[in-house]
Amino acid sequence: MLYSVQEDRHQIRARHTESTVTVYQAYSPRIGLPAARDGRFPELWKRDRMTWIKPSFLWMMYRCGWAAKEGQEVVLAVEITREGFEWALDHACLSHYERGLHEDRDSWKRDLRRSPARVQWDPERDLHLQALPYRSLQLGLAGEAAGRYADEWTVSITDVTDLAHEIHGHVRAGELERARELLPQERVYPLGEGRLSHLHR
């Protein structure tokens, strides 16, 4: 699918239903395997640390190296409520200062300290994990947001490591169409006009 860079630069694309949205994370087996088995994060998962969720499967593959990086060998598809996802967006602060969006650097720092969530917009990736000309959302959750994510928003947790390996195998074999067919279908996530205005210029 082709995107208009100007119009779509900061749109969120995700696999979603009427009530849920799927995000991705990668963990070591000691966290990822029990999380997928039990449908909830184990005690080893620390609520006092920021956790980053990614609606883009291919950006997750870029981050974890197709589940080959140490400590990121298990890729999880975490289905969460749209209500929770949108709460996090509404309460998020951009992770870096941007002139014209924030009043000044000090006010941005204050907002960042108070916010239970933060947002980064990083280049989306293709099947070769090369940067594309539009952005992908990374949503960091801390404090109240991390607790809600683990205890209230999570609907299901699925281990998709085998899918990651299968897609990567087709990419390495040059079978890009087959690899593309296996990708999770990510569509533009519907948000009201201006809902993300505090998170980008």
Written as six digits, the tokens of 114 are 């108070």
CA gap 134, 95 in Å, rounded: 18
CA gap 62, 124 in Å, rounded: 9
With a cut of 60, say whether residue 2 has pLDDT above it.
no
With a cut of 70, say whether residue 97 has pLDDT above it.
no
pTM across the whole model:
0.91
CA atoms within 13 A on the CB side of 104: 1
Query: How does pLDDT run across 108-162, given as a tens digit for each residue?
Result: 767 767 889 999 999 999 999 999 999 999 999 999 999 999 999 999 999 999 9
Is the Cβ–Cβ distance between 153 and 85 less than 8 Å?
A: yes
